[in-house]
Copies of this chain bind each other. A is one copy, B any other.
Amino acid sequence: MKRGFIIPIGGAEEKLREPAILKRFAKLCGGKSARIAVIPTASQLKDTGQRYETYFKEIGVGEVRSLPFEERGDAKREDLVNWLELCDGAFLTGGNQLRLSTTLGGTPAAKILRKRNEGGMHIAGTSAGAAFLSEHMIAFGEEGSTPHADSVTLAPGLGLTNRVIVDQHFRQRDRIGRLLSAISYNPYAIGLGLDEDTAGFIGPDETLTVVGSGGITIVDASDLEYTSMDHASRHQTISLIGIKLHILIDGATFNLHTREARPAASASSSP
């Protein structure tokens, strides 16, 4: 039994002209025969779920249904939860990731998403939806290039993997400082800084493949030699020695297990 893909997307993915990320997700789920659930819980806009239904239908997905998990009670409704049992893929929209964790955390819906992903269902999330996928979710934080002890607040997420901590709108909102802070709490996790219109397709073999028009910044602290996190005061800059950083673009891969990055296969240059 192979785990399904875990697909964090940096937000603002292209939807109309050449929706490479949505298309790849749809194809992975089975294309014409795919059954996709949209989970618009993070969004405050009434029509978010419906809009994604339309996008997915336009690229040929067989069946799409938006599941209105608006309150915790909805996440127990059998008609909705049972539909999750039948899907090939689930797509979590953007909005506020704390809406996702507070509404779905500990409910039957969250449990089924985890169980079904283990069993092969693919789960994608964009923006807030991307942040929520991992065990450790960036709830909110400051912007800026330098890490501070209190520049980021983590919260438990959906928990599909604990190997990564995801941040989104990365280039657009200057979030490397808070991602570095998050990673420096425990260097075990790998930081994924996702630009807009850029996704990491994390396969069952723990290989992430980059899809989209921007970049993914990989923060690997496994060789960290020193951190001041444990004795810094709250507002102080955190000192970190020995961070590894990769910036990957469309087609490049990163193995979350071996922590090896590779450029896209067609790319030929090396320094």
Contact = CB atoms under 8 A, between A and B. Distances in A.
A28 interface: no
Classify chain A's interface size: 35 or more
Given A240-B246, A242-B244, A271-B226, A215 B146 contact: yes
What is the total number of copies of this protein in its complex? 2
Most B C-beta atoms less than 10 A away, residue of A171, A172, A224: A171
A213 B233 CA distance: 12
Contacts of A195: 146, 237
A15 to B, nearest CB: 20
Most B C-beta atoms less than 10 A away, residue of A147, A215, A252, A267: A215
Given A174-B144, A217-B145, A240 B230 contact: no
4 closest residue pairs by CB, A with B = A174-B174, A146-B171, A215-B237, A243-B245
Contacts of A215: 146, 237-239
Nearest to A212: B237
A242 to B, nearest CB: 7
A108 interface: no
A157 interface: no
Contacts of A269: 226-228, 230-231
Interface string A168-180: 0011101111001
A105 to B, nearest CB: 29
A227 to B, nearest CB: 5
Contacts of A146: 170-171, 195, 214-215, 217, 247
Contact of A171 (B171, B177, B243): B177
Most B C-beta atoms less than 10 A away, residue of A145, A225, A252, A271: A145
Given A226-B267, A267-B228, A247 B242 contact: no
A172 B193 contact: no
